[in-house]
Structure 1
């Protein structure tokens, strides 16, 4: 599915807020019922890609917070990415 992979690649450029807002719209459209099975599947795939993008942002934010906390405490983060 070339169209789907192209649509998913543009998800990688979205900010957290953009991905979250679009995911809300996709879920609402799925809940209302798409006109065709093909459209429902496309929405589902888009929603999965958007959810994954949101998760990437949240995990990245958690890593940054963990690093900042460890730095403030003078402790090296568990992943070894900090500087002593």
Structure 2
């Protein structure tokens, strides 16, 4: 799930945050999901415009997803969320 906000203040670079609740799994699983999501978003930072703010919320299914599945989901949701 992605929450997107395009700020009118373009004085900062794009910001991305992650929310991975305990429903996803124990600390090891949550941290693995966060690391994977960070890696996926890091590769796409150049595509984001200044002032964009994005929050990616991992759902419990993310714990069992392969890296490629997470990557495809993030790409699809970013395309859907951005104007």
What TM-score do the two structures reach when normalised by structure 1?
A: 0.31
Specify the structure having the higher radius of gyration (Cα). Answer: 1
What TM-score do the two structures reach when normalised by structure 2?
A: 0.31
Is the strand fraction higher in 1 or 2? 2
Q: Which has the higher contact order (CA 8 A, sep 6+)?
A: 2
Is the helix fraction higher in 1 or 2? 1
